[in-house]
Amino acid sequence: MTGSLFQYERYGYVNDHAVWLIQASSPISQMKQLQLAIDSKVFIMMQDQDIVSVKEAYRIAKDYPIILNPIGIWSPMSGLVMTVVSFWERRKDLQGLSFTVATAEVYLY
């Protein structure tokens, strides 16, 4: 994995609107220091012989582990086959994350 992703992460570009496609053999060990957000668009390609699996990488929250979610596979026989499940449907499990929310009443005349 190149150092460029880590350089951009320092400026917040990993969690911005950028889309990253990375080829890696052991992505968790190579990416564990990155602060990926739940809306990160980081995709990992891993090759095993002539099959390439595509996974998305994100974290539920800062101190949570990186999740690698399989979203597609490529082979010479079938080409690229991607999941039809939507982005947020794939990431809807917040794994028990607790967060604070607030509401405010607004009175319209």
Average pLDDT over residues 48-69: 92
Asked, for residue 27, whether it belongs to a domain, the answer is yes
Asked, for residue 58, whether it belongs to a domain, the answer is yes
Average pLDDT over residues 4-15: 59
pLDDT at 51: 95
Asked, for residue 103, whether it belongs to a domain, the answer is no
Asked, for residue 95, whether it belongs to a domain, the answer is no
Q: Is 36 exposed, middle or buried (0-12, 13-18, 19+ CB in 10 A)?
A: buried
Asked, for residue 65, whether it belongs to a domain, the answer is yes
Asked, for residue 96, whether it belongs to a domain, the answer is no
Q: How far apart are CA 56 and CA 101, in angstroms?
A: 28
Confidence of residue 8 (pLDDT cuts 50, 70, 90): low
For 26, the domain range is 4-90
> What is the number of domains present in the chain?
1
Asked, for residue 98, whether it belongs to a domain, the answer is no
Question: Which residue in this structure is represented by tokens 């509401």?
Answer: 103
Q: How far apart are CA 48 and CA 59, in angstroms?
A: 25
* Amino acid in position 1: M
